[in-house]
Amino acid sequence: MQWSIQEIARLTGVTSRTLRHYDAVGLLPAARTTASGPRRYDRTALVRLQRILLLRDLGLGLGDIAEVLDTDQGEAEALRTHLVSLRAEQDRLARQIASVERTVAALEKDPDTKEDIMAKDMFDGFDHTQYEQEVTERWGRDAYQKSDAWWRGLGEQGQQQWKARLETLIKAWTDAAEAGLDPASDEAQAIAARHAEWLVAVPGTPGHEQGRPDRGYLLGLADMYVADERFAANYGGTEGATFVRDVLRVYADQVY
């Protein structure tokens, strides 16, 4: 008993193109009568195809399916391995959805609150300020999660205090810049130290566990203060931000 490619297609619900593809990649070779004639499928092929489709519907890739079918490895084992990546993907999706929801909610509130400055400075910094590629791998996406959870946990009062601390810092920076302090001076370096402390207090900050900010993170953030005008605006424009950056660079050279 043999069937043409169309008959197999109708029997199983896949397209003939798919069957040719499976033939081309060797997943389901067709038994041809001649070298380049029409493909013919027998019962063995049909059974194999049904196992293929079952595993495909479960989300396995064609390569994995071939491995399961050709080596005599346990099907259940492969599926359990597959489950792990499915669950990982599920977690990733859940986090992403939560993130999108937060963003939508934030967009619908007034976008010019003090809180927003903070968010720009801290949270966006986590996401996109990265000085070295190697560093990229160390502080993953969960940094945002941690810091966000911490922030909510602070409560109204704690958040107010935090904002006040930020404003004090900013005032110190702008005053120092206007006074024309030497970036290497003790006064300027003191502000840098306070700034580093302020940053590292947040869980999720690269270096939080070590008690001082990651060097690459700090330098990248310093550059970003100058480069991004939204950050720069917080520190008295480009000039002020440049001063902050220079001080932080000296600080980093001395401390690390």
Partner DNA sequence: GTAGAGGTTGACGCCGCGTCAACTTCAACC
Partner DNA sequence: GGTTGAAGTTGACGCGGCGTCAACCTCTAC
* DSSP β-bridge partners for residue 3: 41
Contact 154, 163 (CB under 8 A): no
Q: Which stretch binds its own copies (CB under 8 A): 40-48, 172-180, 192-200, 246-254?
A: 40-48
Which DSSP string corresponds to 71-102? S---HHHHHHHHHHHHHHHHHHHHHHHHHHHH
Count the neighbouring beta carbons within 10 Å of the beta carbon of residue 222.
25
* DSSP β-bridge partners for residue 42: 2
Which residue in 104, 112, 157, 210 binds its own copies (CB under 8 A)? Answer: 104
Q: Residue 61 or residue 155: which is nearer to DNA going by CB?
A: 61
Q: How far is CA 28 from CA 13, 41, 211, 250, in A?
A: 16, 10, 58, 64
Q: Residue 57 or residue 110: which is nearer to its own copies going by CB?
A: 57
Q: Residue 9 or residue 255: which is nearer to DNA going by CB?
A: 9
Q: Residue 86 or residue 193: which is nearer to its own copies going by CB?
A: 86
Q: Residue 83 or residue 179: which is nearer to its own copies going by CB?
A: 83
Compute the least distance from the CB of residue 189 to its own copies, in Å. Answer: 24
Q: Does residue 218 interact with DNA by CB under 7 A?
A: no
Which residue in 76, 112, 209, 210 binds its own copies (CB under 8 A)? Answer: 76
Locus of tokens 């917080």: 234
Which residue in 130, 147, 174, 189 binds its own copies (CB under 8 A)? Answer: 130
16 contacts which partner out of its own copies, DNA, none, CB within 5 to 8 A by kind?
DNA
143, burial (CB in 10 Å: exposed 0-12, middle 13-18, buried 19+): buried
Q: Does residue 18 interact with DNA by CB under 7 A?
A: yes
Compute the least distance from the CB of residue 116 to DNA, in Å. Answer: 26
Contact 65, 75 (CB under 8 A): no
* DSSP β-bridge partners for residue 2: 42
Q: Which stretch binds its own copies (CB under 8 A): 31-39, 94-102, 150-158, 185-193?
A: 94-102
Write the single-letter amino acid at 31: A
Q: Does residue 39 interact with DNA by CB under 7 A?
A: yes
Site string for DNA, 71-90 (x = CB under 7 A): --------------------
Contact 2, 17 (CB under 8 A): no
